[in-house]
């Protein structure tokens, strides 16, 4: 079904590891869309539901640029600010505890991610959302 509906591959036509997924109507058109997070060096994927067939809108929504260097796990679309648009929360962290030795640009411990949806365009608001989202060493020790 994923292949037929357009959910099997990312926008580059490549398969990817989906670590967490949620289905909800992020664009308020009445059709449930799909968000799938992935491992580092692969964009998280946002698929817009076009009445049963899905299009990858990761880059046009802003999610692709935000998430390229991160590894996501649990995720949920929620309207955290009660503006009528579903935002996206992701619990993040790399799968390899020694990733910083092999790729210094990546981190094993990553802060929580909260992306605010403004009419289908996303931006990071984690830093504005309290100490658990700031990714400081002390908040990572408490949460990780």
- Residues near 1 by beta carbon (within 8 Å), at least 6 away in sequence: 7
Residue of 57, 49, 135 whose CA lies nearest to 91:
135
pTM for this structure?
0.85
Check residue 57 and give its pLDDT.
Answer: 95
Sheet holding 113-118, edge to edge: 72-78, 87-92, 113-118, 121-124
Q: What pLDDT, on the 0 to 100 scale, is given for residue 48?
A: 97
**Model pLDDT for residues 8-28, shown as the tens digit of each residue:** 888 888 887 788 999 999 999
Collapse the DSSP code of 131 into the 3-class scheme (helix H, G, I; strand E, B; otherwise coil) and give the result. helix
pLDDT band with cut points at 50, 70 and 90 for residue 140: very low
Q: For residues 74 and 15, what is the distance between their CA atoms, to the nearest angstrom? A: 19
Q: Could you tell me whether strands 33-37 and 45-49 are parallel, antiparallel, or unpaired per DSSP bridges? A: antiparallel
User: What sections of the chain are H helices per DSSP?
Assistant: 2-5, 58-61, 63-67, 99-102, 137-143
- Residue listed under structure tokens 């009660």: 82
pLDDT at position 129 over 80: no
pLDDT of 47 strictly over 90: yes
């Amino acid at each position: 079904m994923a292949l037929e509906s357009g959910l099997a591959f990312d926008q580059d036509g490549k398969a990817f590891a989906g670590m967490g997924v949620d289905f909800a109507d992020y664009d308020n058109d009445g059709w449930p869309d799909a968000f799938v997070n992935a491992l580092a060096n692969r964009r998280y994927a946002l698929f817009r539901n076009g009445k049963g067939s899905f299009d990858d809108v990761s880059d046009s929504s802003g999610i692709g640029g935000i998430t390229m260097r991160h590894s996501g796990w649990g995720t949920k679309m929620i309207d955290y600010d009660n503006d009528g648009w579903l935002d996206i929360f992701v619990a993040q962290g790399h799968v390899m505890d020694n990733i910083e030795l092999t790729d210094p640009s990546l981190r094993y411990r990553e802060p929580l991610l909260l992306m605010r949806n403004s009419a289908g365009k996303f931006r990071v608001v984690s830093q504005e959302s309290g100490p658990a989202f700031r990714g400081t060493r002390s908040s990572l020790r408490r949460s990780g």
